[in-house]
Structure 1
Amino acid sequence: MSEQSAARSVYESGTIGDMIVTLLDRYPDRIAFIDGERRFTYAETRDAISRAIQQLRALGLKRGDTVVQLSGNRPEVFFVTAAIYLLGLRSVTLQAMGGIEDHAYILGHAETRLMLADSAYAERTRALRGRLPSIPHWYLHDAGGELPGFWEEAARFAPAPLPSEAGAEDVIRLAYTGGTTGRPKGVMLPGRAVMTQTLLLMAGRAWSDGVRLLCPTPISHGAGATLIPVLWRGGTVILQKGFDPDRFLDAMEEHGANATFLVPTMVYKLLDHPRTRRTDFSRMETLMYGAAPMSPARIREGLEVFGPVLQQGYGQTEAPSAILTLSRQDHLDADERILSSAGKPYPGIAVQLLDESDRPVPQGEVGEICVRGPLVMAGYLKQPELTAEVLRNGWLHTGDMAYQDARGFFFIVDRKKDMVISGGFNVYPKQVEDVLTTHPAVSAAAVIGVPHPTWGEAVKAVIVCRPGRSASAEELTRYVKERLGSVPAPKSVDFVEGLPLTVLGKPDKKALRAPYWEGRSRAVS
């Protein structure tokens, strides 16, 4: 038996579906979900999943068929996803802020059988139906106009015991990448990857019994991985549709939330909000952040404001959520350099830094983060050549560049494609951004390379200032030069009200670079 087969066999005796069935029967009378004025107990959640299963079967969906959802945060997204996992269908969740071209491409590429949307996206759904008439089933969660209501039809079924029919290697999730380097890629995640992700998050994050998770980030994407760990502990998920600092603080106080998952831009907004420092965070036990790197300066500020509750997670779509973690204890390390780290591997995941020939690099040198284990995807849908390249020699090649220190902490320097090559020197934007955000006037920073006739690329900084603060371009350039030298120092600085963000809440560097590189090609792809 190969090493990979041996690792996978651990998970073949139980599936994510088995886990869902078990947890729903443990706390039938507890509240599982809060959605505004709506409450769902664990028993009501189980019954809703049962009705969804029966509705999917009534529509003729069979193992391996694809169901696509387009929705904001609502419990029904989880109900349908759980039903998909139990039946061995394939779940696709569209990024709500994505464009219609990407949405149409994904629906066709995934060979969708059912499209199910929130009523807020009814217009987009009707437009997509006009483009893709071959898809047989189009529904809204709530009936609206000519589109039928999924739950209205599902209500005719009496709750029944939940089946668990998917195997460990059945692809139960197609997670499409953001499309920042071309067409979105369909990452095939089998049941063993979803199960591994769940177990690693349970083992590697700080959950208390009865945890109360405040969730403004989309459960259709990264935050969705936290739901089963929370429910396994008998906890409650408090859903919000989008992030607003005042609404977040109101809900935290009203519901006694003691855990949350935010992306760095949300943390920055919370830290910059005047009400935050008047708020009591003593109940908060864990503030998880991820999806993009967070500035060490702002991490230190977060520790002062929120307390010793910060925990970072690093992963990618192809190995979701659980590659590296910087624990709450790590955030309190006497060596503050650790705050620049992405942490250490989750238990059971092999992580190495490899060079371009897939050989391990010496300690302290930069290499590509490569991952092996049952968390890793099965491949890209309909892209065997790309799959073979990314999974060559048994390792998932993430495209993230990092070095490892003597204590085993990984320090990500940047994405390969974001590296700036200026005058033959490699400049890693994250290192420049980390310095810029230590300046008292800077709230957020993005660093990109722009064309230069002599150097090939020049370093440009795009800055968001803190409320009531300002700095000059010359001051910030000098600030970086004093700390990193002349090559990484910005040669130009733009000041903006806010950074453009991808649909996953990351700074959109492709959008920042686009005006400068139109009609040109970059050396770093």
Structure 2
Amino acid sequence: MEKIWLKQYPDGVPAEVQTDVYPSLVALLEESFRKHQGLPAYRFMGKAFNFELIDDLSRAFAAYLQSLGLVKGDRVAVMLPNVPQYPVAVAGILRAGLVVVNVNPLYTPRELEHQLKDSGAKAIVILENFATTLQQVADAVPTKHVVLAAMGDLMGFLKGAIINHVVRKVKKMVPAYTLAAPVRFNDAISLGRRKPFTAPVVGADDIAVLQYTGGTTGVSKGAVLLHRNLVANVLQSEAWYQPALKKIPKGEQITTICALPIYHIFGFNTNMMLGLRMGGCNILIANPRDLPALFKELSRERFHSLPAVNTLFNAMANHPDFDKVDWSHLKISVGGGMAVQQATARLWLEKTGCPICEGYGLSETSPVASCNRVDTDAYSGTIGIPVSNTEMKLLDDDGNAVPMGQAGEIAIKGPQVMAGYWQRPDETAKVMTADGFFRTGDIGVMDERGFFKIVDRKKDMILVSGFNVYPNEVEDVLTQLPGVLECAAVGVPDDKAGEAVKVVIVKKDPALTEQDVRAWCEANLTGYKRPKVVEFRADLPKTPVGKVLRRELRDKPSAR
């Protein structure tokens, strides 16, 4: 297949990146620790953590894990939000030759039990705020070593004590729990300092991470990401960023706002791993949903990069504290995780002068597969073009390539594509083609320049009297209606048409009426795409990374 998208590459971005320069993610991390040792790698609540400190703490943590009798290939779960213990734990796990199992801290006991059992995790690093969840499944899972972190662990004695007091006693964010013999995070570090550390030989084909995915569609599966997959994607992303990085004054350290959860693959590679590779500093935001606190943090920082999802860009741009932040140094706004909507992109560009550059990827692709040019000056409405070393094509239901301009399932091939699903050869076989392409389940079209546009997920498509209605299109139209803050479109059963379109809207303007919505849709959407049901709500159900949970809107109708 001709890679017509290569003609759209900016100057300086290669068609192929050498992705085997590091034998493993560990080698990449250790080079970064040496090369940038004096620079801050993270800032959290006003405290800086330099590369040298992360190196020292993670080596001690690796020695502690080895002292438990864990051996190369054993899985260790990490159930932490964006706190400095996260990069320390992850680097330590990888350096000990172990496998990181990223766990969403907001999981229910049922979801946590499934993931710990499925992965066979022998140990877990968990924030005490979520210990009660672990307590409820502790007897049913193979996870017997528990390292318990507290919010203030690495903040120094006095500041740490104050933070922990506020979290535990004032805000009452730590429900009561009982766990058998947990070891405190700081104690694990102290114990590790007194233990020998033996660096194992970690290779490109060893497993680095089990990234669980598919929880919103059925049973959650672990995408097996090898060291070479993650290294490749870090280097691909770094190459793609080059045109924007050139705009940062020479000698100035790139600073990135880490508001994405770093246990999610988008934040894991785009914030943590890429930041370490580039010698950058990540400003860790523990709870991006607390917008006043987020803006307070941003008002103290000079930053260049902000990866986020559409819902966060939208919420920030519409917040009264927006102008308290200096946005003049922002050079890269990367949107991913869900479709970036035109109204959000327009408002963000108007208010910051930095366009949202939409990209696309999945847990199964480490994650970045395609992206718009980072030197773009406008919203394209597409997911861009395949990044270096990557091929994308569109397939019909029989696995045949479809003609240009016709919709088909997006399939991806490249060094960042996972090795398969953990212990699920049947599920792996369903998504991998004979020629090595990963079938995403997303329906897209490609234009004559090689730009891809997602028209929707297969499972989210609404079938109205035999016509396909793609929720993204309906949502994009509605978010351009003044008075709409955000919205979601889903299919609901209909006696006549099989399915009908239902829209759930969060108002920006309280005066917005159902009649306003219907008039706008009549002017902008053909008959079968117009909503039959219009519902207003105070908010939309979302995953921790900010994706709207359309399934919940279908399955759990709300009272108005």
TM over 0.5: yes
- 1:141 maps to which residue? 149
Aligned counterpart for 1:223 among listed residues 264, 267, 275: 267
- 1:268 maps to which residue? 314
RMSD value, Cα: 2.2
- C-alpha distance 245-319 of structure 1, shift in aligned 2 (>3 A): same
DSSP-derived class of the 2:410 partner: strand
- Which residue identity is paired with 1:229? L
Using the TM superposition, name which of 172-181 and 104-113 deviates more: 172-181
Once the 2 structures are TM-superposed, how far is the Cα of residue 301 of structure 1 from its aligned partner? 0.9
| 1:410-444 C-alpha deviation (Å, 9 max, x unpaired) | 11000000000010111011011111111111111
Whose RCO is larger (CA < 8 A, sep 6+)?
A: 2
Provide the C-alpha distance between the structure 2 equivalents of 1:103 and 1:8, rounded to a whole number of angstroms: 38
- Which residue identity is paired with 1:401? I
Once the 2 structures are TM-superposed, how far is the Cα of residue 162 of structure 1 from its aligned partner? 8.4
Provide the C-alpha distance between the structure 2 equivalents of 1:107 and 1:359, rounded to a whole number of angstroms: 38
- Which residue identity is paired with 1:136? K
- 1:169 maps to which residue? 205
Provide the C-alpha distance between the structure 2 equivalents of 1:131 and 1:476, rounded to a whole number of angstroms: 50
Using the TM superposition, name which of 141-150 and 239-248 deviates more: 141-150
| 1:485-512 C-alpha deviation (Å, 9 max, x unpaired) | 1010111100111111023310001111
| 1:252-297 C-alpha deviation (Å, 9 max, x unpaired) | 2212222222221111111111221464311222222211112112
Once the 2 structures are TM-superposed, how far is the Cα of residue 10 of structure 1 from its aligned partner? 5.1
Using the TM superposition, name which of 438-447 and 312-321 deviates more: 312-321
Aligned counterpart for 2:517 among listed residues 476, 481, 486: 476
DSSP-derived class of the 2:487 partner: strand
Provide the C-alpha distance between the structure 1 equivalents of 2:138 and 2:187, rounded to a whole number of angstroms: 20
DSSP-derived class of the 1:449 partner: strand
* 1:452 correspondence with 2:494: yes
Once the 2 structures are TM-superposed, how far is the Cα of residue 37 of structure 1 from its aligned partner? 4.1
- Which residue identity is paired with 2:206? D
Determine if contact 1:172/1:189 at 8 Å carries over to the other structure. Answer: yes
Determine if contact 1:64/1:90 at 8 Å carries over to the other structure. Answer: yes
Using the TM superposition, name which of 288-297 and 448-457 deviates more: 288-297
- C-alpha distance 366-227 of structure 1, shift in aligned 2 (>3 A): same
- 1:301 maps to which residue? 347
Aligned counterpart for 2:334 among listed residues 285, 288, 292: 288
* 1:252 correspondence with 2:295: no
- 2:366 maps to which residue? 320
- 1:521 maps to which residue? none
- Which residue identity is paired with 1:426? N
- C-alpha distance 35-279 of structure 1, shift in aligned 2 (>3 A): closer
Provide the C-alpha distance between the structure 2 equivalents of 1:103 and 1:67, rounded to a whole number of angstroms: 13
Provide the C-alpha distance between the structure 2 equivalents of 1:184 and 1:211, rounded to a whole number of angstroms: 35
- C-alpha distance 274-503 of structure 1, shift in aligned 2 (>3 A): closer
- 1:354 maps to which residue? 395
Once the 2 structures are TM-superposed, how far is the Cα of residue 23 of structure 1 from its aligned partner? 0.6
Once the 2 structures are TM-superposed, how far is the Cα of residue 322 of structure 1 from its aligned partner? 0.8
* 1:390 correspondence with 2:431: yes
- Which residue identity is paired with 1:433? E
Provide the C-alpha distance between the structure 1 equivalents of 2:108 and 2:133, rounded to a whole number of angstroms: 10
- Which residue identity is paired with 1:230? G
Aligned counterpart for 2:86 among listed residues 77, 86, 89: 77
- 1:504 maps to which residue? 545
Equivalences for residues 71-470 of structure 1 within 5 A: 71-132=80-141, 134-142=142-150, 146-158=181-193, 163=199, 165-205=201-241, 206-207=244-245, 208=248, 210-221=253-264, 222-225=266-269, 226-243=271-288, 244-277=290-323, 279-330=325-376, 332-333=377-378, 338=380, 340-393=381-434, 394-466=436-508, 468-470=509-511
Runs of 5+ unmatched residues, structure 2: 1-15, 154-176
Runs of 5+ unmatched residues, structure 1: 1-6, 518-525
TM-score (ref. length: structure 2): 0.86
Using the TM superposition, name which of 29-38 and 441-450 deviates more: 29-38
Determine if contact 2:17/2:235 at 8 Å carries over to the other structure. Answer: no
Provide the C-alpha distance between the structure 2 equivalents of 1:9 and 1:286, rounded to a whole number of angstroms: 24
- Which residue identity is paired with 1:173? V
DSSP-derived class of the 2:528 partner: coil
Counting aligned pairs with the same residue, the percent is 28
Once the 2 structures are TM-superposed, how far is the Cα of residue 124 of structure 1 from its aligned partner? 1.7
DSSP-derived class of the 2:130 partner: helix
- The number of residue pairs the alignment matches comes to 504
Provide the C-alpha distance between the structure 1 equivalents of 2:217 and 2:108, rounded to a whole number of angstroms: 15
- C-alpha distance 391-504 of structure 1, shift in aligned 2 (>3 A): same
DSSP-derived class of the 2:366 partner: strand
| 1:175-221 C-alpha deviation (Å, 9 max, x unpaired) | 11141121111111111111111111211234455111121221111
Once the 2 structures are TM-superposed, how far is the Cα of residue 161 of structure 1 from its aligned partner? 8.3
